[in-house]
Chains A and B, each alone.
Chain A
Amino acid sequence: MGKLDNQPQRFFQDEDTGYPQGDAIKQQIDVRNRRGLWWRIFFMLALLMAIASLVALLATIVNDAFGYVVVINREDPERLALDVVAMQLLSASNTLTSEDDNELADGVAANPNGIGFFGNAYYQQNRDRLKLVAIDGDLPNEETALSGAYPLVRPLFLYTTADILSNNQAANVFMNYLLTNVNAEIEQVGYLPTSQEDLTFSQRNWIRANANLGLQPGQWAAINPSGILGNFTIAGSSTVYPLTDHMLAAYQAAGYEGVYNNQSVGTTAGIAAFCDGKADIAAASRPIQSGEFEVCRKNGRFPQEFRVGTDALAVVVNAQNDFVTNLTQEELQQVFTIAQTWADVNPAWPDEPIYRFIPGADSGTLDFFTDAVYDARLSDLSKEELARLLATNISVGRGRALEREQRFFENALLFESPDLWNEVCAQPPAARPTGCTAPVRSRDNIYDLLMTEVVKPDVVKTYTLLNSVLNRRAIQAEAAESYPNGDLEFRAWVNRDFVTNAQSSTPELAGVRTAILGSLFVIAVTIIFSFPVGVGAAIYLEEYAADNRLNRLLQTNINNLAGVPSIIYGMLGLAIFVRALESFTSGAAFGEVTDPTTANGRTILSAGLTLGLLILPLLIINAQEALRAVPNSLRQAGLALGATKWQTTWHHVLPVALPGILTGTILAVSRAIGETAPLVVVGASTFIALDPSGPFSKFTTLPIQIYQWTSRPQAEFRNIAAAAILVLLVMLLALNATAVFLRNRYSVRM
């Protein structure tokens, strides 16, 4: 070879070697590369498609598992808790209650050790006889009320309906007159004016009911009351009463010629009367509650809210009281409940009994006061308090039924009379209700009862996550419009309660605890049965079985069994485990049957064994593969040392194959966890709220639960099905994580 010239070096001569020459080489390589590229693109697209479908799957589930919901509680749980506080207030020593605030003002005025609270108007009327108490250093006035420094500020409302306004001219024009003039007049009564914004909102409600006037929102027209005839009734809050009374007098003075009836009966009673059709306008010192709203709606009345003023509730003592000028919120809490004497509240104060004058149980003022001053949550209440709440909120008949199911207290009956109870429990065991012998209900159980029997949370509308994120405003508007009495909240359907609650027919309260436990039990049986059997069979086939026709047939059969539809295994399980081995799978053979409904063999054991059969072929094939992957040199090494076959297999072959066997087992078990069809055939229970306690229990599993929920019509079941799917996915992930851990732990490096 001479020196290099400018020509590219030729490595191959131009002889005919049968291969491309010169430029053709490059071309030919290009063609091959391009072909490879196409395949590469195809594989990438396939991968993308797989990823996309997985993401879409997960997104659909997550979309349903989270999002806004509108919940309507039959009873507001916070209100219930505050009712307990209210009961404490009402039953405190030396406490006088009245729906008439005048009586309260008189009472405090007459008693040097008196203290009370009521609408500011009544204080204004009795300024000389009473002394205003500051709360946390703030006295009630327009400034502290607006800034929020004074805690006892509350809105005053009137409620009526569009129907009433369009049918009752006297009431309609009164509302117009009031909404026109209330802010000018209200300070004379002793209350604070409404903000322009709230007033405009109220006026808009009126305009909507008077569409014939052709007013646009934002416009306002005062109607002259002169000559207006007709009668109407206002009923409700004694706090609002002075305001309505004042405005009615002015209305009359302006020319109204009908007869009005203004009743001071308390907010609750007033709203009840209004919803019953006994009053045209309800006066309220608190917003209408969702339960009240529902009653109204059932009676064909759709209450509309009119904000008419603001009250800074006055806490007052006798004018001669020279030691109380300020109370902290904590002191305020004590003064009206547990404190007996002034000294109990503050040692510097006289050791004389406190005389309390508070609004009665029907008054909105009491509700407001407890709400503003006390923190109460249902979940903080004691068992006794919860039981008392339950007792006051459900019928005696229902209470008896619950008590017969399970007692509330060891040594007291909440609903039943002792005589009847003894009589009922004296019956022979078969006729005796379970409550006679069952342990008493726990606090948590009573709490749950309170939720299901009284609070009855009802999800009336659900929104998907996507919707919730993108259209928050619109959803808020829609919820406020369509469900004014509902609470819009963001709900994660999968949460702690969902995981720990038992099955329930109410989607809001349903949980997957039973299903999770069921799945775990069933899978435990499956693994205990199929792992040793599967690995054992694989070892036999791989290490021991001679290569003869029988074993080849066996192998072919196993391979085919892996492809048999799972429903067939269900039928097999039904025939073998449920029917043929009934006495074994029901536990009867072991004298284990405590629950007659499991005597039919439709138990966790049957389910687990069925799933075990289902995955057995997979396990065997996979374990065989793992064993086959163990290099033969290892077996030879062991045997050449004079070890027996079993020693070699156990000490060297199995440990090397184990990671592979475990991986395959996890895959198979994951499949078993997700199985539904065979379990339906074997007889999963459609509804059990009782946790499984062992292999002979009835069972349900997560996929079964999901399957049942997805087939229910109500939208919320779709949400909890999605939540349950997430739980299932987490379970599978946990299982896989365990597998990875085990594999790393036991894998032997070759």
Chain B
Amino acid sequence: MTNTVHSNGHIAIQANNMHVYYGNFRAVKDITLQFPSHQISALIGPSGCGKSTVLRSFNRMNDLVATARVEGEVLYHNHNIYDAGVDPVEVRRHIGMVFQKPNPFPKSIYENVAWGARVNGFKGNMDDLVESALRQAALWDEVKDKLDQSGYSLSGGQQQRLCIARTIAVKPEIILMDEPTSALDPVATLKIEELIQELKKSYTIIIVTHNMQQAARASDYTAFFNMDEDRAGYLEEYNETNELFTNPKNELTEQYITGRFG
């Protein structure tokens, strides 16, 4: 099983023998996985195998689930983010997240972007920050004349880009995306995919997707998860995307990416 990847050598975040439990139920087991920085890594696998769970473990969003418990370690800059002294707020400040359904704040577009920066104590020019974040999210031209309108006045795809802009504005190192395009139409999806390619220059991106084409065309690395008979998710195969899609080492992987199960 391949779970280490050697690219330019920089690892943004890595999980070592990570198990995640919901109460007594072990949702994922023994994940060991490294994500190279400034690359796009895709997590794929059948429904319920624990992709979202794994993703949420990387910025401690699982803390919101009262019953969730993480064993093993998640190393970020050589620190285990689950160490006792680590404040999840700080983790999330560096590892942002974009959700499946666009969830802008019920506030103005400007405020949607500025809020995260403000609560994190941003000292610079807020207008500039908002503009650059919206530009990076490829939304600026569409909203620059209506920054004071509600975030909900935008279309679904625009809302999702707003959510990305909002995440960018706090300048994270890693952006986790949980099926960010599943609620969008193909055109909006394509736009987000292009955007992700653009973002790769500045951020490390980990994306969960059900869309094989998306994983194949938009990601550099792909991790395939599967479930054992106890419904516990585990990492089946992890490799460069090209490699994994053209030359899967694992039979299950091949069956999955060719649509024969999942």
- A-side residues, CB < 8 A to B, are 546-547, 631-644, 647, 651-652, 655-656, 748-750
Contacts and interface: CB of A to CB of B under 8 A. Distances in A.
A637 B66 contact: no
B106 A639 contact: no
Nearest to A750: B106
Given A633-B101, A644-B119, 16 more contacts: A632-B64, A636-B103, A640-B59, A640-B92, A640-B167, A641-B96, A641-B115, A641-B166, A642-B89, A642-B96, A642-B116, A643-B120, A644-B89, A647-B119, A656-B106, A749-B152
Contacts of B107: 748
Nearest to B104: A637
A641 B170 contact: yes
B90 interface: yes
Contacts of B89: 639, 642-644
Contact of B150 (A637, A644, A651, A749): A749
Nearest to B107: A748
Given A637-B163, A642-B92, A750 B119 contact: no
B119 A641 contact: yes
A76 B66 CA distance: 80
Nearest 3 CB-CB pairings of A with B? A642-B93, A641-B116, A633-B103
Please classify the interface of chain A as helix (H, G, I), strand (E, B), loop, or mixed, using the class held by over half of its residues: helix
A656 B103 CA distance: 14
A530 B119 CA distance: 30
Interface of B: 59, 61, 64, 66, 89-90, 92-94, 96-97, 99, 101, 103-107, 115-116, 119-120, 150, 152, 163, 166-167, 170
Nearest to A647: B119
B120 A642 contact: yes
A749 B107 CA distance: 8
A638 B170 CA distance: 12
B105 A639 contact: no
A642 B105 contact: no
Contacts of B61: 636, 639-640
Contacts of B94: 642
A503 B170 CA distance: 64
A639 B64 contact: yes
A221 B31 CA distance: 127
B92 A749 contact: no
Given A641-B92, A642-B89, A643-B89, A636 B116 contact: no
Contacts of A647: 119
A636 B90 CA distance: 15
Nearest to A642: B93
Given A634-B103, A637-B103, A639-B92, A547 B66 contact: yes
A631 B102 CA distance: 12
Nearest to B88: A639
A642 B87 CA distance: 10
A706 to B, nearest CB: 43
Contacts of B90: 642
Contacts of B152: 749-750
22 contacts: A631-B103, A632-B64, A633-B101, A634-B106, A635-B64, A637-B99, A637-B163, A638-B105, A639-B89, A640-B61, A640-B92, A640-B96, A640-B97, A640-B99, A641-B116, A642-B96, A642-B116, A643-B120, A652-B105, A749-B150, A749-B152, A750-B152
A609 B172 CA distance: 49
Given A636-B61, A651-B115, A750-B152, A641 B120 contact: yes
Contact of A634 (B64, B96, B105): B105
Contacts of A749: 106, 150, 152
Nearest to B103: A633
A370 to B, nearest CB: 72
Nearest to A547: B66
B168 to A, nearest CB: 11
Contact of B119 (A634, A635, A640, A643): A643
B64 A651 contact: no
B162 to A, nearest CB: 11
A126 B64 CA distance: 112
B116 A643 contact: yes
Contact of B66 (A546, A632, A635, A640): A546
Contacts of A640: 59, 61, 92, 96-97, 99, 167
B160 to A, nearest CB: 12
A750 B150 CA distance: 9
Nearest to B116: A641
B64 A748 contact: no
Contacts of A651: 105, 115, 119
A710 B99 CA distance: 63
B108 to A, nearest CB: 11
Contact of A748 (B59, B97, B106, B163): B106
